[in-house]
Amino acid sequence: MQRGDFTAAHHHSHTIKGTAGSVGATALYKAAVSLDDLLRKGQSDPDIYQAFRKTITATRDVLQQLG
């Protein structure tokens, strides 16, 4: 997204949204929905992007503790 490739960023956010929803990672799912909706429109919002990054990092940290 930092390079302006909204198509690829949308594809990735959509995939993460689906996976998060499937495994019940609710916080990540909600963050991905917000980002996915924005990217689908070809728009950018640093606050939404940062919230997504924070949430995906927190989710990764929890998963690492479990595994």
Secondary structure (3-state) at 1: coil
Domain residue limits at 24: 6-66
User: Could you give the residue ranges of the DSSP H alpha helices within the chain?
Assistant: 6-23, 26-40, 46-66
17 lies in a domain? yes
Residue 1 has a pLDDT of 53
Domain count of the chain?
A: 1
pTM of the predicted structure, to 2 decimals: 0.88
In a domain, 45, yes or no: yes
The DSSP call for residue 3 is T
> pLDDT digits over 19-51, tens only?
999 999 999 999 999 999 999 999 989 999 999
Asked if 59 and 25 touch (Cβ cutoff 8 Å), the reply is yes
